[in-house]
Amino acid sequence: MSDADEPVAGGPDLAGRVRLMVVRLRRRVQSEHSRSALSGVQISALDSLSRFGPLTPRELAVCERIQPPTMTKLIAALEFDGLITRETHPRDRRQLILRTTPVGEQALAAAVRETEEWLGKRLSELSEEDRAAVMAAVDVFNKLAGG
């Protein structure tokens, strides 16, 4: 087991390289993003809500790894735009039940399409090998982000 002796996991400074990647990739994604549409954070929250069914603000905050006050603002914006609804919890009146609306689902789909337009284009310009690497890694990085 010669590779068990390695002081760092996965080659020289993998962690540092991942860190730089995160900062730069997010800046690129941010800058390429159309101003008119949903923000990345909104898309992420809406996606989680759509995927994991009705949730309370707390649950969604945990899921998105943000703090409750941040979630409050996010919810207010999404509700203002009619993308989600806010009902009071039937058994616990402290809590709320958040649901995506049809409009919200449409907006989410539109955001996905818009992302596909520029990011998908850039991905399609990669070599077959590079694209395979991206595909293989995206879920690993999500695991890394969400574990």
Partner DNA sequence: TACCATTCGTTCGGTTAGCTAATGAATTGA
Partner DNA sequence: TCAATTCATTAGCTAACCGAACGAATGGTA
> Residue 122 interacts with a second copy (CB under 8 A)?
yes
CA distance 15 to 115: 27
State the distance between the two ends of the chain, measured CA to CA, in whole angstroms: 28
Residues 41-100 binding DNA (CB under 7 A) are: 41-42, 56-58, 61, 65-73, 75-76, 86, 91-96
Q: Letter for the amino acid at 129? A: E
Does 57 bind a second copy (CB under 8 A)? Our answer is: no
CA-CA distances (angstroms) from residue 36 to 6, 58, 110, 116, 119? 48, 28, 12, 16, 17
Binding residue for DNA, selected from 30, 34, 106, 142, defined by CB under 7 A: 30
Which one of a second copy, DNA, none interacts with residue 126, CB within 5 to 8 A by kind?
a second copy
Closest distance between a second copy and the C-beta of residue 27, in Å?
6
Beta-carbon count within 10 A of 71 CB: 21
Residue 28 site contact among DNA, a second copy, none (CB < 5 to 8 Å, cut-off depends on kind): a second copy
